[in-house]
Amino acid sequence: MEAGREGQAFTYANPDGLSVGVGDLVQVPLQGRRHAGLVLACLQTLPEDLAGKRMRAVEAVLQSAAVADAWQDLLLAVAEACHTSRFRTLKSALPPGWLGQRPRAPAGRLLCQISRVAPQVAAPVDPQLELSPRQRALLAHLDGHGGRRLLRDLLAADGFGRGLITALEAKGLVRRETVRGVPATRTAPLGLPPAPPRPLEAPRIANAAQAAAVEAIDSAAAGSTLLLWGVTGAGKTEVYLQAAARQLQQGRSVLLLAPEIGLIPQLLDRCRARLGPQVLEYHSGMGDAERVKAWRRCLDAAAAAEPLVAIGTRSAIFLPLAPLGLIVLDEEHDSSYKQESPMPCYHARDVAQRRASLDGARLVLGSATPSLETWLRCRQPQGEGGVQLLRLPERIGQRPLPPVRVVDMRLEFAEGHRRLISRPLMGRLQQLQARGEQAVVLVPRRGYRSFLSCRSCGEAVQCPNCDVALTVHRRNASAGSATEWLRCHWCDHRQEIAQRCGQCGSTAFKPFGAGTQRVMEQLAAELEGLRLLRFDQDTTRGRDGHRRLLERFAAGEADVLVGTQMLAKGMDLPRVTLAAVLAADGLLHRPDLRSSEHCLQLLLQLAGRAGRGELPGEVLVQTYSPDHPVIRYLVDGRYERFLEEELQLRRQGGLVPFSRACLLRLAGPSASATATAATTLVERVRAEVERQGWLVIGPAPAPVAKVAGRSRWQVLLHGPAATALPLPPEAELRRMLPPNVSLAIDPDPLQL
């Protein structure tokens, strides 16, 4: 049998006669350490090159049938598409910590145990029976441990040999059995929840568009993809729930993906209330053991042909649900679905696509602002990668979409109002309390100030480890006094506010830009009595951080929620009537192919938070560039028009998705070492890349050229759409690099 590590397969013996099959997760020794590996094949005869070689043995089966055959097909397809090894892909796909080096015994794994055969069956050591002193010692040892001991402890800790155990076994004095390593807390049997089941909430009465969408999903061909394009507040979730319920009735499981952990609790609550206890979660906010447990629950349910609903973030796309009837990717345009590192650099949407066709499931992509890629596929014939378009054109209850008002900050300035918060925004915020309404205010950055710059030489105070400016953070201690310090948002380095400029020695600094903390402070200063809550990475830490904060806001603890981009996503609060953006400019001018698309998506999503209930909503955008095309599309609310024009531009320019890009990211100990490595790599592959009709651009320093002390360079490859990457296998590329330079291959990078 074989087990993989870093893309290699190894062969192991199975002298203990453990019951091992393809797809099992087993524990094996490797280079003096204990590893978990996946069984790729079981060999009855040894291949010639291994004949006569000494082989290490499989120590235990950790999980039998951890993955199914069909699942391995998915894995292989993803590994190939992402130009990486099956092992790396496996490592990303399985619950973290399951594969690879194993420091200690996790709960509930299967181990081989040696136990004394009960004395009444085989009398205590019979003097007639010929036993060697070592054999006697082993039996005495076992008796000293209550008659049983794990095989691996007998071998490793106690120093007994395998032959000894086999001999005693042959004499009927001991036997081997499989046990769970550490008594696992028993999960309730499937279908029998521990608490008495709550009565399920009844489905809402679907409106015509919702009903049509549910029907279309239900009758869609296996393996097909549908785009559910509903404006914000159109009731997409209701469609997912009704479509999911139909799959469950037919005995098929459902996978529901959300782009961020923060969105999971709300979805989970809604699904459990409607679909019952067979709903499980899977995301990076859970501990490793919990994720293994969720994985096992999927395996058990698949074996028992019991349908489940799994809700999770991108890695949940690999959960071993079977048979799978429906995959939903909510907010399909969201870039969090893309894994940037480690390899494989996969997009959950692409994996979902493959999985839907392999498993015969339907894939529903849901969004109010679909990605350009998906929109393009809506215009292709179905069956040729085409996507069926389902529209929910109106909000529930025919509520209007909120109008967008642009505040030209240049005018505010010209009129002598030099504040962070414009007069129109102030006016709206002042009315909130009297009307019993709430607002969300988006600030592009967390922290207090974006950066500090030196008053004499103009240099920004930089992180010592990264090529980025440090952000000022602040803590209000007692009344009036506050401590400030600097923090890096890339490597989390923290330091005191610098006493002297590293460049010129000056001691005077000027702060620039406002983060969420400063906006809170300004709002509190200008609008007395306005109650505020901050919603950013710093205030939503922990498993339930998002949920707790949103619950407080929903309960009316505050009038305004000030937060970063996570504000824009998914929140459904009826009393929110105002969505404001403080400095849209920070989002507009980003040097990236997709920056317009992503910015417009974000702003429309934010706008979608306002006016979802009975009360009409409004959107207010503060900007210095009111004529920016993105702002114009936002005001007109014509997202489809934007997509069409953007597609046109991309087609004319021969840009993605009308061509293909691949990014090679290198990181090394110094700029020169990394640059040299990148140049060498390019020299080695250039001829073949160009021969296949691709272009090599670079190497060049990455946009952030240093992170956490590692220098980063990149090489961009550009080629015709729908062609294979013109690169040798990953392992070969790695061999072209010194060991201290790392490489990531991103076959379809989101950021260019």
Among 16, 59, 238, 597, binds ligand ADP (CB under 6 A): 238
Best CA proximity match to 694, nearest among 715, 716, 720, 662: 720
Nearest-angstrom CA–CA distance, 516 and 71: 44
Between residues 22 and 396, which has the closer beta carbon with respect to ligand ADP?
396
Coil, helix or strand at residue 412: helix
- Pairing relationship of beta strands 494-496 and 253-257 according to DSSP bridges: unpaired
Among 11, 115, 166, 207, binds ligand ADP (CB under 6 A): 207
Q: Which stretch binds Zn ion (CB under 5 A): 312-320, 357-365, 464-472, 550-558?
A: 464-472
The span of 122-130, 236-244, 507-515, 646-654 binding ligand ADP (CB under 6 A) equals: 236-244
Compute the residue count for the chain: 752
Query: Are 608 and 231 spatial neighbours (Cβ–Cβ below 8 Å)?
Result: yes
Tokens matching residue 323: 């048979």
Stretch in the footprint of ligand ADP (CB under 6 A) among 152-160, 200-208, 336-344, 424-432: 200-208
Check binding of 562 to Zn ion (CB under 5 A): no
Residue 504 touches which member of Zn ion, ligand ADP, none, C-beta under 5-8 Å by kind: Zn ion
Residue 711 binds which entry of Zn ion, ligand ADP, none, CB below 5-8 Å type-dependent: none
What is the C-alpha separation between 174 and 112, in angstroms, rounded?
A: 13
CA distance 657 to 14: 50
Is residue 55 part of the contact set for ligand ADP (CB under 6 A)?
A: no
Q: How far is the CB of 395 from ligand ADP (least distance, A)?
A: 8
Of the candidate residues 501, 561, 607, 667, the single one contacting Zn ion (CB under 5 A):
501
Residues 389, 381: Cα–Cα separation, whole Å: 11
- Torsion angle in degrees (nearest 10) through CA of 259, 260, 263, 267: 50
* DSSP, res 192: -
Q: Is 344 in the site for ligand ADP (CB under 6 A)?
A: no
Identity of the residue, 62 or 561, whose beta carbon is nearer to ligand ADP in the bound complex:
561
The residue (of 501 and 599) whose beta carbon lies closer to Zn ion is 501
Range 547-576, binding ligand ADP (CB under 6 A): 572
Q: What residue has token string 């317009």?
A: 596
Stretch that binds Zn ion, among 41-49, 449-457, 523-531, 562-570 (CB under 5 A): 449-457
Closer residue to ligand ADP in complex, CB, 605/714: 605
Q: Please report whether residue 504 would count as binding Zn ion according to CB under 5 A.
A: yes
Q: In angstroms, what is the minimal distance from the CB of 673 to Zn ion? A: 20
Find the binder of Zn ion among 8, 495, 506, 723 (CB under 5 A): 506
CA distances from 515 to 79, 420, 460 (A): 40, 11, 16
Cα distance between residue 106 and residue 62, in whole Å: 9
CB atoms within 10 A of CB 478: 6
Q: How far is the CB of 666 from Zn ion (least distance, A)?
A: 19
Q: Which residues contact 48 (CB under 8 A, 6 or more apart)?
A: none
In the region spanning residues 469 to 498, those forming contacts with Zn ion, defined by CB under 5 A, are: 488, 490-491, 493
Residue 235 lies near ligand ADP (rule: CB under 6 A): yes
Residue 234 vs 583, nearer CB to ligand ADP: 234
Specify the residue, 204 or 590, whose C-beta has the smaller distance to ligand ADP: 204
Cβ distance to ligand ADP smaller for residue 92 or 237:
237
CA dihedral 550→551→552→557, nearest 10 degrees, is: 100
Only segment of 66-74, 229-237, 413-421, 599-607 that touches ligand ADP (CB under 6 A) = 229-237
- Residue 347 is given by DSSP the state B
Q: Per rule CB under 5 A, is residue 466 in the interface with Zn ion?
A: yes
Residue 584 buriedness (CB in 10 A; 0-12 / 13-18 / 19+): buried
- Which is nearest to 239 in space by CA: 210, 279, 201, 268? 210
According to the binding rule CB under 5 A, does residue 454 interact with Zn ion? yes
Binding track, positions 571-610, relative to ligand ADP; x by CB under 6 A: -x--------------------------------------
CA distance 690 to 696: 7
Q: Which residues pair with 446 in a beta bridge?
A: none
Q: Could you write out the DSSP letters of every residue in 95-164?
A: PTTSSEE--SPPTT-EEEEEEEPPTTTS-SS-TTS---HHHHHHHHHHHHTTTEEEHHIIIIIS---HHH
Among 85, 225, 232, 659, binds ligand ADP (CB under 6 A): 232
Site string for ligand ADP, 430-449 (x = CB under 6 A): --------------------
User: Which of 63, 237, 422, 674 touches ligand ADP by CB under 6 A?
Assistant: 237
List residues binding ligand ADP (CB under 6 A): 204-207, 210, 230, 232-238, 396, 572
List residues binding Zn ion (CB under 5 A): 454, 457, 459, 463, 465-466, 488, 490-491, 493, 501, 503-504, 506
